[in-house]
Chains A and B, each alone.
Chain A
């Protein structure tokens, strides 16, 4: 892999997020897309008429009970007859959509792209039906039939991690406490909450070691980001150079077998995200990152379940395998710590409307790098670099993207 055209660079011009909530009964997916897009256009100083291409980011045809929803999103925002492409990779969909925007612009297929993502995951179906839909994202012949569902799969992974490294339930709980707390300064968050480790430990046991408060919730919501080249932005963005300039400097993607059972055993086995290690390696190499712990100012980490965030720290190279729990105890990942993670609240605090989630991560990093977020959660900019990590399944699709501020 070699980036041939080093002169052609891809910038993040702006973003928009429609309120994440348990159930947005005031509107439906296409309305949320409209809201997020209007905000992104204002933030980026662009007119939709000038933007050349769309990427649509959504995960489930079951939740949305609408096949080809991308066509609706795209025509809602007045993009017809311009090109549109859908990207899908489960929980990693949004991260892959950002990567897609980078690739299309870098390749010269367009100079500007709007990425729109949404998911209707709220309470329009009963929660066990929702769990069924999510379970359909594992192998329906071999895993779902034996009563496999995602919390149970992740618990299998974490039990192995706890057994090998001594990672504790309290360390998982600290992730939940941090992310719910960070969400308190994010008005668009689904689940802001001031809770303690005891609250998490005493919440209802779902599948050991995961209690109710260790898990992210199903959220409704949409998000939108506008990307472009410098030349395009100079011509079409009224905010170019009025706001700090943010560039996409790295992207990586890795995968793994759909079923945990098929992954090479015992190494890397079932306790790590091999695809994430691979995606991070590519993204860091592209951005010239050698020591991620020291070279990022913030990182949005995929925290569908609290333990996933800890294992991801290890697979993203923030620390050695088995060390994440100890660092969590030391507060390294808190706001004000060495590497603040999920300042937005992450999936646990901000919410997880799947197709929008990875985009919302990108918007948090964009706003952190522009120093636009609530001062309560604003990080210090030492490297002017932020990262995001988005994954689907039990790490079957992993996308890591890096934004940097240029000034």
Chain B
């Protein structure tokens, strides 16, 4: 046949008209219902720069939780920003105690497979003590799932095992 020369060929099939309900006089695309499907594998790795908030990740490794404070308007962002987007002033690094209040959370029984996390897992939004906005990370070591409560106090805990991304050098735990 010759199609065996195609190394990524998946299948050749005859498709049905998905809009037959709209075509009482016959399929206008009848000549185009032979369909071929092939496989296309894509695999690449990025060398990604963490930019001007890299220091946050560098200091996480030192068990310090840093954020930024605006020298003009005084806003302390939960997640650091090199430029205060409230007033467009270049910010300063500031260390926070790493404690806070969990103002919302979600418990997932599903996770996209590329994310290496055991289910169920808990995503928490935390109002960090000393910051004006929130920080998002996983809540772990909560014991029984019934222990998880809205507005519970939490604290930053640091990784003790190797991690695949610097963001995973930390997580939240009940305080």
Query: Do A and B associate with each other?
Result: yes
A: residues with CB less than 8 A from B are 18-19, 21, 24-27, 31, 35, 65, 126, 128-129, 131-132, 135, 141-149, 151-153, 155-157, 159-160, 163, 187-188, 204-208, 259-266, 270
Determine whether the beta carbon of B19 is less than 8 Å from that of A208. Answer: no
Chain B 47-81, CB-CB to A under 8 Å as 1, else 0, gives 00010010000000000000000000000011100
Q: Are B22 and A207 in contact (CB under 8 A)?
A: no
Which of these binds chain A: B1-9, B33-41, B89-97, B152-160?
B33-41
Q: List 9 A-B contacts (CB under 8 A).
A: A146-B136, A160-B103, A187-B22, A204-B109, A207-B106, A261-B136, A262-B85, A265-B127, A265-B134
Residue from B22, B125, B165 within 8 A of A270 (CB atoms)? B125
Residues of A within 8 A of B13 (CB): 25
The answer to whether B117 and A147 have CB atoms under 8 Å apart is yes
User: Beyond the given A19-B19, A24-B18, could you list 7 further A-B residue pairs with CB under 8 A, ordered by the A residue number?
Assistant: A25-B37, A135-B115, A141-B167, A146-B167, A156-B106, A260-B136, A262-B133
Chain A residues positioned under 8 Å from B25 (CB to CB):
none
Q: What residues of B have a CB within 8 angstroms of the CB of A261 in the complex? A: 78-79, 125, 133-136
A369–B87 Cα distance when bound, in Å, is: 45
Chain B min CB distance to A232 (Å): 28
Across the interface, do A135 and B112 meet the contact criterion of CB distance under 8 Å? Answer: yes
Q: Which residues of B contact A65 (CB under 8 A)?
A: 40, 42
- Residues on the B chain within 8 Å of A141, using CB: 50, 53, 167
User: How big is the B interface, by class?
Assistant: 35 or more
| Contact B121 A147, beta carbon cutoff 8 Å | yes
| Distance (whole angstroms) from the CB of B10 to the closest CB of chain A | 10
What's the nearest-Cβ distance from chain A to residue B136, in Å? 5
Q: Which residues of A contact B16 (CB under 8 A)?
A: 26
Q: Give the distance in Å from the alpha carbon of A142 to the alpha carbon of B125 in the complex.
A: 12
Chain B residues with CB under 8 A of A143: 136
* B121: chain A residues within 8 A (beta carbon): 147
One of B85, B108, B150, B167 near A145 (C-beta < 8 A): B167
Q: How far is the CB of A148 from chain B (nearest CB, A)?
A: 6
Q: Is the CB of A149 within 8 A of B115?
A: yes
CB contacts (< 8 Å) of B105 on chain A: these are 156, 159
- Is A27's CB under 8 angstroms from B50's CB? no
A44 to chain B, nearest CB (A): 17
**B133 touching A207, Cβ below 8 Å:** no
Min distance, Cβ A260 to any Cβ of chain B, angstroms: 7
Provide the residues of chain B in CB contact with A35, threshold 8 Å: 19
CB-nearest residue of chain A to B128: A261
Q: Is A259 a contact of B117 with CB atoms below 8 Å?
A: no
Please name all residues of chain B whose beta carbon is closer than 8 Å to the beta carbon of A208 when the two chains form the complex: 106-107
Quick one: which of B9-25 are within 8 Å of A by CB? 13, 15-19, 21-22
